C-alpha cells in the first residue's frame, strides 16, 4: 500500500478490529452442512482454487468478485449459476456466504483479509499473507480477535513430506539440526521472460476497475502491463521471495517449530530477466533463527537442473526433500523425502523413505470450518513466513543484514 493509504488502512483496520465483537456471527454450521463459498480475485491461481473448491463435496461456490470482466466471464463458464460482481464489498455483504477465498494480487491481500474477517466470514487467503510487515501485524491481530477459521494458501503445510519430517524430528532421528539448505531453480525459454504474461486485447480501462486494483496507490493512468504483470513490480509484489521462498520457509519453520528469523541477509539482482522488472531473478538468502539455526535459500530463473528442495542437516541424520521446479503449483513433479543417518552418531541407523500422503489443503479448510478446528496453515504460520519473506526483501533493498526489530521498524517501500 502507498504510505497514505497504508496509514488509512491501518487506522480503519484498528477501528475495525476493536469493533469485531460487534460483528454478526457467521451462520452456525454443523459437520453435515455445506459451506457456502465466495471468491475474491479469480485470476490464474483463483481458477485453480475455483476448480479445487468445486471438488470438495461439502462446499458450494455461490459468487465471485473480480475487477476484470474477462475473469468474471471465465469464472461463470467454469461454474455456471454463480453470481459475479466487480466490487468485493458486495460479495462480503451477501449474508448466505460462510467462507471467502482470496486470490487477489499480493498488495491487496491485507485489505481483502481484514474486510473478510470483519464481514464475519471464514477466510482462505493466498500466500504471502500480506505485502508488508505492518499489514501482517494487522491481519494477525484481526484474526486473533475473531473466531473465524483462517487458512493461508501455503499448501505444503498439508503435505505428506512435512508430516514425515516432523515425525522423524520428533523421534529424534535427526539429532540437533543447526543448518538448513533450501533452493528453488527454474529456467526460462530464450526470448521469453519468466512470469511475463501477454496482455489480452480486452484488458482496457473500460473492462478493468483500475482504481480498485490500485487500492489507493498513486494513479499514473491505466497500465495494462502492470495490471497483468504486477508480480514484476515492488509496488504490488515481493518478487520470488513472496511468490516461492515463502512456501519453503513456512515448511521449514513448521518442521523445526521456528519463530520469525532474528536476522536476514539477501544478495542477488536482475541478472537474467532484463525486461524492465524491478524484482530480482537471482537470489541468495540467509535467515538466522534463535536457538542456533541458520537457513539458506537460493533461487535462479536461469537453470532448472536441481529443481527445488530442502536439506535439514542434523548431528544424527539428514532429511532431504527434493522435488521438481513446478511441483508447488501443479503437484505433478516427482518428489522424494528421505532420511539418511549420520553413521558417526547412529551407526545402526538406516535410510528411510517417507510414505505419508498429502492432505487436500482446500478440503482441510472446509472441514475445519465445519468442526471449528485450526487448519494446517493457520494465520500463525502465515504471519511467521510473511515476516521472514519481508525481512529478506528489506535486507536486499537496504543492502545490509537486517534484524527482526529493524525490519519491524522499517517503513514499507513501494
Ligand atoms: N499457493 C500457490 O501455489 C500459488 C500459486 C500461484 C499464485 N499464488 C498467489 O495467488 C495470488 C494471485 O496470483 P495470480 O497469479 O492468480 O494473479 P492474477 O493476476 O492472475 O490474478 C489476480 C486476480 O485478481 C483480480 N483483482 C485485482 N484486483 C482486485 C480487486 N481489488 N478485487 C478483486 N479482484 C481483483 C484480477 O483481475 C485477477 O483476476 C497471489 O498472491 C499469488 O502469490 C499462489
Burial (CB count within 10 angstroms: exposed 0-12, middle 13-18, buried 19+), residue 304: middle
Residue ranges covered by each domain of the chain: 3-156+363-377
For residue 312, give the DSSP letter: E
d(CA 311, CA 322): 8
The Cα 149–Cα 146 span in angstroms is 9
**pLDDT of 31:** 59
DSSP 80: T
**What's the pLDDT at 33?**
79
Look up cell 545490509; give the residue.
400
Nearest residue to 321 via CA among 176, 187, 183: 183
CATH architecture of 3-156+363-377: 3-Layer(aba) Sandwich (3.40)
Alpha-carbon torsion angle 25, 27, 31, 34, nearest 10: -140
Q: Whole-angstrom Cα distance, residue 219 to residue 215?
A: 10
**Count of CB atoms within 10 A of residue 165's CB?**
26
Match 541424520 to its residue by C-alpha cell: 317
Positions of E strands within 203-292: 263-269, 282-289
Question: Can you give the pLDDT at residue 27?
Answer: 56
Annotate 45-54 with b (16+ C-beta within 10 A) or e (fewer). Answer: bbbbbbebbe
pLDDT one-digit tens code per residue, 170-192: 999 999 999 999 999 999 999 99
> Which mutation among 39, 40, 41 tests ligand 1's pocket best, with the greatest number of atoms within 8 A of CB?
41
pLDDT of residue 305: 82
Residue ranges in the chain modelled with pLDDT below 70: 1-32, 324-333
212 lines ligand 1 (CB under 6 A): yes
85 Cβ below 6 A of ligand 1: no
Which secondary-structure segment (H or E) carries 318? strand 317-323
Is 260's C-beta closer than 6 angstroms to any atom of ligand 1? no
Q: H or E element: which one contains 110? A: helix 109-118
Centre of ligand 1 from the C-alpha of residue 297, in Å = 24
Measured from the CA of 329, which atom of ligand 1 is nearest?
3
User: Are 290 and 259 a contacting pair, CB within 8 Å?
Assistant: yes
Is 309's C-beta closer than 6 angstroms to any atom of ligand 1?
A: no
Measure the CA–CA gap between 18 and 15, rounded to whole angstroms. Answer: 5
What pLDDT score does 304 carry?
87
C-alpha cell at position 45 = 491461481
pTM: 0.93
Atom of ligand 1 nearest to the CA of 213: 28
* The three cell numbers locating residue 411: 517503513
pLDDT of residue 335: 84
Question: How many Å separate Cα 110 from the centre of its chain?
Answer: 12
Res 323: pLDDT = 83
Question: What does the pLDDT read at residue 389?
Answer: 98
| Closest ligand 1 atom to 45 CA | 16
Amino acid at each position: 500500500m502507498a504510505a497514505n493509504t497504508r496509514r488509512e488502512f491501518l487506522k480503519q483496520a484498528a477501528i475495525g478490529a476493536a469493533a469485531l465483537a460487534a460483528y454478526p456471527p457467521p451462520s452456525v454450521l454443523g459437520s453435515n452442512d455445506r459451506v457456502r463459498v465466495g471468491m475474491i480475485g479469480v485470476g490464474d491461481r483463483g481458477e485453480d482454487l475455483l476448480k479445487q473448491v468445486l471438488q470438495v463435496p461439502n462446499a458450494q461456490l455461490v459468487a465471485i468478485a473480480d475487477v476484470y470482466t474477462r475473469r468474471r466471464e471465465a469464472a461463470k463458464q467454469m461454474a455456471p449459476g454463480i453470481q459475479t460482481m466487480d466490487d468485493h464489498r458486495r460479495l462480503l455483504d451477501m449474508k448466505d456466504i460462510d467462507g471467502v477465498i482470496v486470490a487477489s494480487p499480493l498488495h491487496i491481500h491485507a485489505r481483502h483479509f481484514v474486510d473478510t474477517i470483519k464481514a464475519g466470514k471464514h477466510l482462505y487467503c493466498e500466500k504471502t499473507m500480506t505485502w508488508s510487515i505492518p499489514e501482517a501485524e494487522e491481519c494477525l491481530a484481526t484474526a486473533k480477535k475473531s473466531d473465524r477459521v483462517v487458512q493461508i494458501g501455503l499448501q505444503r503445510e498439508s503435505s505428506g513430506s512435512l508430516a514425515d519430517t516432523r515425525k522423524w524430528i520428533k523421534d529424534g532421528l535427526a539429532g540437533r539440526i543447526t543448518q538448513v539448505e533450501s533452493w528453488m531453480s527454474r529456467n526460462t525459454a530464450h526470448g521469453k521472460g519468466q512470469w511475463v504474461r501477454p496482455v489480452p486485447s480486452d484488458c482496457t480501462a473500460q473492462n478493468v476497475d483500475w482504481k480498485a486494483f490500485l487500492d489507493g496507490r498513486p494513479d499514473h493512468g491505466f497500465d495494462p502491463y502492470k495490471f497483468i504483470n504486477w508480480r514484476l513490480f515492488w509496488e504490488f509484489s515481493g518478487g520470488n521471495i513472496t511468490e516461492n521462498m515463502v512456501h519453503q520457509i513456512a515448511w521449514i519453520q513448521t518442521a523445526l517449530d521456528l519463530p520469525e528469523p532474528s536476522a536476514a541477509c539477501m544478495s542477488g539482482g536482475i541478472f537474467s530477466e532484463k525486461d524492465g522488472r524491478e524484482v530480482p531473478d537471482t537470489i541468495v538468502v540467509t535467515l538466522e533463527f534463535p536457538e542456533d539455526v541458520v537457513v539458506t535459500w537460493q533461487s535462479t530463473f536461469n537453470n532448472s537442473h536441481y529443481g527445488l528442495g530442502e536439506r535439514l542437516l542434523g548431528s544424527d541424520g539428514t532429511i532431504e526433500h527434493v522435488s521438481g521446479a513446478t511441483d508447488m503449483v501443479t503437484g505433478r513433479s516427482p518428489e522424494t523425502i528421505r532420511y539418511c543417518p549420520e553413521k558417526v552418531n547412529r551407526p545402526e541407523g538406516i535410510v528411510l523413505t517417507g510414505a505419508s500422503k498429502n492432505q487436500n489443503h482446500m478440503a482441510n479448510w472446509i472441514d475445519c470450518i465445519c468442526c471449528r478446528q485450526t487448519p494446517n496453515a493457520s494465520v500463525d504460520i502465515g504471519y511467521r513466513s510473511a515476516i521472514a519473506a519481508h525481512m529478506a526483501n528489506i535486507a536486499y533493498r537496504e543492502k545490509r543484514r537486517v534484524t527482526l526489530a529493524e525490519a519491524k521498524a522499517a517503513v514499507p517501500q513501494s
